[in-house]
Structure formats: C-alpha cells, structure tokens
Structure 1
Amino acid sequence: MAAPQERLDRLFSRLGYGSRSELREWLRAGRVSVGSRPVGSPSLRVDPKLVQIDGQPLDHPEGLYLLYHKPRGKVCAHGEPRSVYGDFPAAWSVRRPAINTVGRLDADTSGVLLVTDDGGWLHRWTHPRRAVPRTYRVGLAEPITDGALAQLRSGKLLLAGETSPCLPADVEVLAPRHLRLTLREGRYHEVRRMLAALGNRVDTLHREAFGPFRVDDLPSGSWRLLDPHEASLP
C-alpha cells in the first residue's frame, strides 16, 4: 500500500513551520528536499516521512504522542503564564491541531498526563465507554472513616448538582489520612468532590496511573515520547 501523501504547503502549515510565502522562500533557497532531491513546487504531493529541511526530517509529521509528569502549580490551558504547554517546544502549540492534554488535572494536582495533537486518539482515551482506570494517591485533612470507605465503594455516591451517582471506586487505605483511589470515569474535580461530599477535604492529590501509563521514573515537569506500541493504544 502506498504511503499517504499530502500537499507540501499544507503539510508545512499543519506542522507549524510557517506560512506558504515562507515555504516558497525555503524552496527557492533549496532548503527543502524529498529524499535527496530538492523540491520546487509548494503544491507537490509528498510522503511526509520523506521530506527534509536542511537535510533533517520533519518534526514528527505522523503526530505527537507524549507521556508527561505534570507538576503542581501548572494549569492545563493554552496561553496561561503557568501553562503545562510551556514545558514543550513552542512549535508544538502552533501545529494544527495544537497539542492538547488527554483530559485535565487541576493546578493543585500532579502526576500522569498524556499529550497529543491527534484528536481521534485523545477521544478514544477519554470516551466514557472505555472506562479507563485512573489511580490517585490522596492525602486527606481528616482520617477516613469506615462509612466513607463504604460510600466510595458503593457506586451510590451522588455529587452536588449531578443526577447519576459516581461509579464504584477501588480504595486502598495506605494510612488513616492517605488513600490510593482508582476511578473509571473522569468527572470534573471528581476526587475532590467525592471526599467533600463525605465531609472530608483533599489536601494533596497525585495521579499515579492513567490506564497502563505511570510516571514513576519521569521527573516532575518532564516528558517522553511514547513508543509505537504505546501510541497504538487504546
């Protein structure tokens, strides 16, 4: 099967390299090639994997699939001073589409985040029917009670303003004020709201795992590219 091809000017625009006029300047200067052959036409259809600029391949034309260890204090929004996107190359935020996190963690939550520019891949991970497990290490203001544990595990806990109860949570008590909590849905601020509904308060929150992904060996604020097998999930 032939490799999928794309117009050169659209490819450069999609990957955030610049405008069509800038591309024409690069073409006139002989900076763009396919294989070892210089390219002269911006409308040429090419295999993105074969295109080079100054002898170097394009920056992940097949898409970006990243594992990121979000630190506390960063927000999952573009254009904010404390944005998580500041930890990635600036060019990735001007790709079309730009990179986005797979779901969000609030500013006071650290841990596992996936990041991609592939909207279909993002949707597959976040669709409710997949029930992707999300595991959190939770620090509480008050010791957890047996009644609260039963409620978390029951599948009957109803959050304020909602009409359907939370799915049953898997709960491991690590210490009186520390839990490991696994959820299979991604409601807004769900962990914090669940504990608040039970009369407690979350003081610290770290997402240890999202599906098969963990950041145990990844320093806070750093990221790595997923390998082809990981990027083929789910």
Structure 2
Amino acid sequence: MKLVKLLANLGYGSRKEVQRLIKSGAVTDDEGNALAENDLPPHESILFRGEELDPPAPLVIMLNKPDGYTCSSDDPGSTIYDLLPERFAHRNPGLNPIGRLDKDTTGFLLMTDDGKLLHKIIHPKSGCWKVYHVTLDRPLEGHETDLFSSGTLMLNSESKPLLPAKLEVLGDKEALITLHEGRYHQVRRMFAAAGNHVLELKRISIGGLKMPDDLEEGDWRALDADELAAVFPATRN
C-alpha cells in the first residue's frame, strides 16, 4: 500500500488532498524527514504534522458515551461520531458501534471497523455478556431476580422469550443486570414488565472487560491486545 492510500483510508483527506499534503511536507518520519507518495515506513514512525498517525485497520476503540448522544450517524442531533476526530468519519473501512446504546443510556461502548469481530462480540454465544448499572423509579419488590433469570420472560410485541439474565440488587432502587443479548430497549422493557421504570442506565462492562475508571465521559481510546482478549473471557487460556 502506498502512503497516499494509507492516509486516505485513515480519513486524512481524499487521495488528491493527501497528495497535496505530502508534497507540502506535512507527512514526515519520526526523524523529521519529509516522506514521498511511494514511501511507506513502519506505521508507528509516520507523523502527520508532527503527530502520530491514527491506528490502522483493524481498529477497536472504547468510548464512554454521555447522555444525549445517539449511535447512528443518520440521526439528527448529537451522535457518538461527534466525540471522535472528524477524520474518523472518513475512514475506510468505517467505524461502527458494537451493539448500540440508546440516546439516554450512558457508559461503555466499543466501536470497530472489523465486521467479523463486531458480529462475534454481539452473538449471544460469544460469552460477551453486558453489565448495566440501573437506577429505578420505585423500590424493587423481590420477584425481579427470578423473573429475569427464568428464560421465559416475553416482552410486548415479541414472539421469543428473553435469554436468562442475572440481577444483582445493590439497594432499594439500584441494581446491576447482566444480559447475554441486546434487544431494542431491553433493560427498560424488562423492568417495565416487572412494573418499574428505569431512571438511569449505564453500561459498565462487556465480556470480561470493564470500562476503565480513568476513561472520562465523552473520551475514547484504542484497545490494546490484552484488553481485546479480555472481552472474550470464555476463550482465554
């Protein structure tokens, strides 16, 4: 792959725009030497205007999603893509969320440009369960744990019961819920079926990977190899 194609695929501009940037000296190696179109040193040694290049594909990032952001670039208003560098919208292949969070749900979101990995993580048999912290409008009544773990709970307008889910009660109106699937508004609909209403919902982990404490709301970073492996606890040695 030529340097022009690499930079274009990473979203730094069209091929013509990238060619102009290279000719202007905006792309150098880590020793300050200007690079030409046909050069392609190791990725980690390429600098764009003095900054390291974004990671190449395949890429997986973690994002701490704030309230009020949707997970689709087609939706009006604020989207998760507004939290990323603008050039990320032009990457090829593009980044997609691995299981969406509702507009008013916050917390741990993974995104990737690897379609096979995306489908592997969201498949119910992958072992990549999702854990949510739930704040409720009314106190728990005590029947919810058995109801959610039964494997027989049927949501309105659906013909297939939910997979068993684990509920860990933290307080009268506070709990952790672990899901092995991701249906539309699932947690909110589950508690509605139990006669309650979710006030706040935050995803805190996916598989064996918890959202880092130092990942501030609205921030993101790329996963390293160990973090990606931790997503699949059932396959680890």
Normalising TM by the smaller chain, what interval?
0.7 to 0.9
Deviation at 1:56, TM superposition (A): 5.2
Q: Which residue of 1 aligns with 2:3?
A: 8
Measured in 2, the distance between the counterparts of 1:54 and 1:215 equals: 30
1:127 maps to 123
Which shows bigger deviation, 143-152 or 101-110?
A: 143-152
Whether 1:61 and 2:56 are equivalent positions in the alignment is yes
Q: Paired residue for 2:66? A: 71
Contact 2:57 2:93 in 1 (8 A): no
- Deviation track 1:43-89 (CA, whole Å, cap 9, x = no partner) reads x4846625554565432124432221111122112154311221111
Deviation at 1:157, TM superposition (A): 0.4
For 2:146 and 2:52, the matched residues in 1 are separated by: 55
Maintained 8 Å contact 1:73/1:107: yes
Which 4+ runs in 1 deviate beyond 3 A?
A: 26-41, 44-48, 50-57, 231-234
Q: Does 1:109 align with 2:105?
A: yes
Match for 1:156 among 152, 172, 182?
152
- Residues 1:77 and 1:52: Cα distance change in structure 2 (over 3 Å): same
- 1:69 match: secondary structure: strand
Identity in percent: 38
The one of 191, 200, 219 aligned to 1:195: 191
What is the aligned counterpart of 1:221 among 213, 218, 221?
A: 218
Change (3 A) 1:220 1:29: closer
Change in 2 beyond 3 A, CA 1:48/1:120 = farther
Deviation digits for residues 205-233 of structure 1 (CA, Å, limit 9, x no counterpart): 11121122224332222223322322355
Q: What TM-score do the two structures reach when normalised by structure 2?
A: 0.82
Q: Give 3-state SS (helix, strand or coil) of 2:78's partner.
A: coil
The Cα offsets for residues 134-187 of structure 1, whole Å up to 9 and x where unpaired, read as: 111112222222333321121110111222211111111122222211111111
Distance 1:47-1:143 versus aligned 2 partners, 3 A rule: same
Gapped regions of structure 1 (runs ≥ 5): 1-5
Shift of 1:198: 2.0
Structure 1 CA distance for aligned equivalents of residues 69 and 205 of structure 2 = 18
Equivalent of residue 134 in structure 2, options 102, 122, 138? 138
- TM value normalised by structure 1: 0.83
Q: Whose Rg is larger?
A: 1
Match of 1:91 in 2: 87
Can you give the 5+ residue segments of structure 2 that lack an aligned partner in the other structure? 233-237
Cα deviation, residue 90, structure 1: 0.9
State the aligned residue count.
227
Q: SS of the counterpart of 2:55?
A: coil
Alpha carbons of 1:29 and 1:82: their partners in 2 closer, same or farther (altered >3 Å)? closer
Shift in alpha-carbon separation, 1:72–1:27, aligned structure 2, 3 A: closer
Distance 2:129 2:162 in 1: 14
